[in-house]
Amino acid sequence: MRYLPLNENDRVAMLDVIGAKSIDYLFQDVPEKARLETLVDLPKHQSEQAIERHMAKLSAKSVSAGSVPFFCGAGAYKHHIPATVDHLIQRSEFLTAYTPYQPEISQGTLQALFEFQTQVALLTGMDVANASMYDGSTACAEAVVMAKRVTRKSRAILAPGLHPHYAAATQTLASTLDIQIDERDCRPGRDDHVIDHINDDTACVVVQSPNVFGEIIDLAPIAEKAHKHKALLIAVFTEPVALGAIKSPGEQGADIVVGEGQGLGVGLNFGGPHVGLFACTKKLVRQMPGRLCGETVDANGERGFVLTLSTREQHIRREKATSNICTNSGLCCLAFTIHMSLLGDAGLKRLAALNHEAACHLADVIDGIHGAEVMNESFFNEFTVKLNKPAADVVEALAKKGVLGGVPVSRLTEGNEDLLLVCATETSSEEDIHAFEKALTEVLS
């Protein structure tokens, strides 16, 4: 077996040193009734070539985003990833390292995390960011739990435009922690109403911008009202590239910002792994979940980095920890930070402008199709289309014509059968948009 270096002679010699007659001796503590005498009922080992063939066949059974005109978003976005990114994250020293608990021999990972935290803080307009969470939705759920710790209040308001999966993941975590979540009606054009629901019992109000329908929300008045009632504004985003074009949540008064970082450096991956971003104001940092990297010096007085403030974390605080999280999204956050380093301010803004431009063009095209109407007043690279037929059927029909034409809202939450979410990015070519127009016109007629 190609992954196992020991041979039979080694095994015999080693058993001899241990003083064991056979390998079974080392499993003697296993209760007799639980000892497997035969191999489990699964195929035996296979060559690299055989596995590759099997997997290539499976892969070919799916339609990949890069192979067709593609317009899906709703929390996962298709962008071009520079070749440098994937090469670098496959360096052995990044790929096969553990969590950097031994800082003397982990400065590569640690410095990259420190740079990542700074980039996320700048992007979101916040004081500090952590070393990442599993994904945007779990970051959102953890933020609500954190708000309860900070405010000692337990009522959370989730805006109608919050991604339904984010709301659901938050509900799951909240349900066991005595956090009450207000009923919400996930429909377009209702986010402003959250202001009316904020009162002294409110721990936090969670608002996504651009929201799941693509609409850009003015967060400032919501922050103002929340602060008046000693509640926190948790701002959410699912597309990091948007922050290259729209105001940062920080400059609008957010206390905690959580989001999905996949759009920079990380592929679609059928939904995971992605990378959750988590930022907050300086005064909340000790209530934050997740890993944090900080600057310090070594015994020579040279600048170096370590994981820090770990007294918040499970491996020290056990049942008193701020979260049970024991990982970050390491390689994905490395990919994010490399892509961001390549882009810089100028590149990110241009990328964002190209996305917005492609979406504006697509919106004009779709508005011209009979049976389709763009509902948004504002948007970044994604918007909602009202159709004269159920969106799920339309998407299936489009797929048969070789176009992946967006995400039906009904896929995310029940109701809203006639609404379709459509996304365009810098990868959407003129030909793609034309193909979409032609196919959608045929399907709706």
The answer to whether 14 contacts other proteins (rule: CB under 8 A) is yes
Q: Which positions from 190 through 249 interact with other proteins, judged by CB under 8 A?
A: 209, 215-216, 218, 243-248
Of 169 and 226, nearer to other proteins (C-beta) is 169
The answer to whether 70 contacts other proteins (rule: CB under 8 A) is yes
Q: Which positions from 306 through 365 interact with other proteins, judged by CB under 8 A?
A: 306, 308-311, 313-321, 323-332, 334, 338, 340-351, 353-354, 356-357, 360-361, 363
**Sole window of 70-78, 153-161, 185-193, 200-208 interacting with other proteins (rule: CB under 8 A):** 70-78
Please report how close the Cβ of residue 158 comes to other proteins at its closest, in angstroms: 14
The answer to whether 439 contacts other proteins (rule: CB under 8 A) is no
Please report how close the Cβ of residue 408 comes to other proteins at its closest, in angstroms: 9
Q: Which positions from 249 through 278 interact with other proteins, judged by CB under 8 A?
A: 260, 267-275
Please report how close the Cβ of residue 346 comes to other proteins at its closest, in angstroms: 5
Residues 217, 221, 225, 227: what is their CA dihedral angle, to the nearest 10 degrees?
90
Question: Quick one: which of 262, 205, 259, 217 has its CA closest to 237?
Answer: 259
Quote the tokens at residue 304. 């170096």
The Cβ-side half-sphere exposure at 387, using a 13 Å CA radius, reads: 27
Q: Is 204 exposed, middle or buried (0-12, 13-18, 19+ CB in 10 A)?
A: buried
* Beta-carbon contacts of residue 273 (< 8 Å; ≥ 6 apart): 134, 135, 266, 329, 331, 332
Please report how close the Cβ of residue 199 comes to other proteins at its closest, in angstroms: 25
**Sole window of 9-17, 193-201, 222-230, 365-373 interacting with other proteins (rule: CB under 8 A):** 9-17
Q: Which positions from 143 through 182 interact with other proteins, judged by CB under 8 A?
A: 145, 163, 165-166, 168-169, 171-173, 175-178
Of 183 and 297, nearer to other proteins (C-beta) is 297
Q: Are 186 and 160 in contact (CB under 8 A)?
A: yes
**Sole window of 13-21, 187-195, 229-237, 427-435 interacting with other proteins (rule: CB under 8 A):** 13-21
At 30, which helix (H) or strand (E)? none
Of 214 and 231, nearer to other proteins (C-beta) is 214
* Beta-carbon contacts of residue 110 (< 8 Å; ≥ 6 apart): 100, 103, 293, 304, 305, 306, 307
Figure out which of the listed residues 181, 195, 285, 444 binds other proteins, where binding follows CB under 8 A: 285
φ/ψ of 370, rounded to 5, equals -65, 130
The answer to whether 415 contacts other proteins (rule: CB under 8 A) is no
Q: Are 260 and 238 in contact (CB under 8 A)?
A: yes
Figure out which of the listed residues 196, 299, 431, 445 binds other proteins, where binding follows CB under 8 A: 299
d(CA 227, CA 224): 5
Figure out which of the listed residues 21, 36, 185, 445 binds other proteins, where binding follows CB under 8 A: 36
d(CA 399, CA 391): 12
Please report how close the Cβ of residue 399 comes to other proteins at its closest, in angstroms: 5
Q: How many residues does the chain have?
A: 445
Residue-by-residue DSSP string for 315-365: HHHGGGSS-------HHHHHHHHHHHHHHHHHHHHHHHHHHHHHHHHHHHH
Figure out which of the listed residues 97, 181, 195, 444 binds other proteins, where binding follows CB under 8 A: 97
Q: Which positions from 104 through 133 interact with other proteins, judged by CB under 8 A?
A: 104-109, 111-112, 114-115, 117-119, 121-123, 127-129, 131-132
